[in-house]
């Protein structure tokens, strides 16, 4: 079983969430909404205020701020967390590794929710699948001058450094910290599209045409992140599309991995049953 029964000495302890979700993604929001429907108490970690906004009106407590591995261990111990769902982004490898380490150290049951990959759904001569930002930049250098980045802001500094001399256009979240980051990197108002996705295929096509992009660089974000809606219009316009594939993520010892709410549901139901059994 993924979920352990909760040991609590009184009713007051029972209302303290011992289930924690690491998120900041739409996947995490969907999980939290399902937890709300089932009447399960929980808390949610997000890195930024943008993640808090994405979580929306959920019942669980939202904790904002990044934690390194040591901070995570201490926080989980202090909160007496016994179950963790890692619903972080597929590209957040360091975060997932820290979560796995912290849970193993504290003997906390860990569920990894990883959205299905769509990397094999599309094949085309103009579709270039690469393993890293560095490889993406090598390919982009030979394909065009105006390069549209739809990869978010996390590695924007790497793109600016590796694609020096190219005209970069970056589609990023419209948050003050991200816009300040763009400014600090030398990306002016003509280089930044501050919008929140995911976007329809029609919206993406209009964006590509408006930007007059020679090349588009994106990530394999799965159906939840609109992967095919990003790539298909690009290819329809005969624009080369470079996709940075997901890093491999080995299964940690004792970890269970699911890729849908349907797969997660039995574990939630089991935990709910264990929770109710405390009062029988």
Does residue 132 share a domain with residue 102?
A: no
For residue 8, pLDDT over 70 is answered with: no
Would residue 3 count as lying in a domain? no
Q: What is the CATH number of the domain that holds 63?
A: 3.40.50.1950
Query: Once rounded to an integer, what is the mean pLDDT over residues 85-93?
Result: 90
Distance separating alpha carbons of residues 197 and 274, to the nearest angstrom: 38
Where would I find the H helices in 126-258? 133-143, 156-162, 176-184, 201-211, 227-236
What pLDDT does 276 receive?
55
Tell me, letter by letter, the H, E, C secondary structure of 39-93. Answer: CCCCEEEECCHHHHHHHCCCCCEEEECCCCHHHHHHHHHHCCCCEEEECCCCCCH
Residue 197's pLDDT band, with cuts at 50, 70 and 90, is confident
| Residue 5 counted as domain residue | no
Tokens of 103: 């849970």
Question: Which pairing describes strands 167-172 and 215-219: parallel, antiparallel, or unpaired?
Answer: unpaired
164 and 236 share a domain? yes
Same domain, 131 and 215: yes
The per-residue pLDDT for 249 is 79
Instruction: Give the number of domains in the chain.
Output: 2
CATH number, residue 159: 3.40.50.150
Give residue-wise pLDDT tens across range 219-240. Answer: 998 888 899 999 999 999 999 9
Domain that residue 160 falls in? 127-244
pLDDT, tens digit, 9 for 90 and up, residues 102-149: 999 999 999 999 988 899 999 999 999 999 999 999 999 999 999 999
Q: Give yes or no: residues 157 and 257 share one domain.
A: no
Question: Measured between alpha carbons, how far is 195 from 149 in angstroms, rounded to an integer?
Answer: 13
Strand order across the beta sheet in which 215-219 lies: 127-130, 241-244, 215-219, 146-149, 167-172, 192-194
CB atoms within 10 A of CB 220: 21
- Stronger pLDDT, 271 or 64, i.e. the higher one: 64
Is there a single domain that holds both residue 92 and residue 138?
no
Is residue 63 domain-shared with residue 77, that is, in the same domain? yes
Residues 82 and 132 both lie in one domain:
no
279 pLDDT tier (thresholds 50, 70, 90): very low
Same structural domain for residues 99 and 136?
no
pLDDT, position 243:
97
Q: Do residues 134 and 198 both lie within one domain?
A: yes
Question: How many angstroms from the chain centroid is the CA of residue 208?
Answer: 24
DSSP 8-43: -SSHHHHTS--EEEE--SHHHHHHHHHHHHHT---E
Whether residues 104 and 177 fall in one domain: no
Statement to judge: residues 213 and 235 lie in one domain = yes
Residue 6 lies in a domain: no
Q: What is the pLDDT of residue 9?
A: 30
> Is residue 250 predicted with pLDDT exceeding 70?
yes
Alpha-carbon dihedral angle through residues 74, 78, 81, 87, given to the nearest 10 degrees: -50
Can you give the pLDDT at residue 7?
A: 30
pTM (two decimals): 0.83
């Amino acid at each position: 079983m993924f979920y352990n029964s909760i040991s609590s000495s009184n009713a007051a302890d029972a209302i303290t969430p011992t289930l924690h979700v690491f998120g900041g993604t739409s996947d995490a929001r969907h999980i939290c909404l399902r937890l709300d429907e089932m009447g399960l108490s929980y808390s949610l970690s997000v890195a930024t205020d943008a993640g808090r906004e994405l979580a929306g009106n959920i019942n669980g407590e939202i904790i904002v701020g990044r934690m390194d591995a040591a901070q995570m261990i201490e926080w989980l111990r202090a909160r007496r967390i016994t179950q963790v769902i890692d619903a972080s982004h597929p590209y957040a490898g360091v975060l997932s590794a820290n979560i796995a380490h912290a849970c193993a150290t504290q003997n906390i049951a860990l569920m990894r929710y990883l959205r299905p990959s769509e990397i094999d759904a599309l094949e085309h001569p103009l579709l270039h699948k690469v393993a890293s930002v560095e490889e993406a930049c090598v390919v982009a250098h030979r394909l065009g001058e105006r390069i549209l980045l739809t990869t978010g802001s996390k590695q924007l500094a790497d793109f600016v450094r590796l694609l020096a001399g190219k005209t970069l256009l970056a589609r990023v979240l419209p948050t003050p910290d991200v816009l300040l980051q763009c400014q600090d990197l030398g990306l002016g108002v003509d280089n930044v599209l501050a919008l929140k996705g995911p976007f329809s295929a029609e919206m993406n096509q209009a964006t590509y045409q408006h930007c007059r992009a020679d090349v588009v660089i994106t990530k394999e974000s799965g159906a939840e992140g609109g992967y095919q809606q990003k790539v298909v219009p690009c290819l329809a316009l005969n624009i080369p599309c470079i996709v940075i594939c997901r890093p491999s993520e080995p299964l940690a010892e004792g970890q269970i991995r699911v890729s849908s709410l349907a797969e997660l549901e039995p574990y939630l139901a089991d935990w709910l049953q264990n929770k109710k059994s405390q009062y029988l």
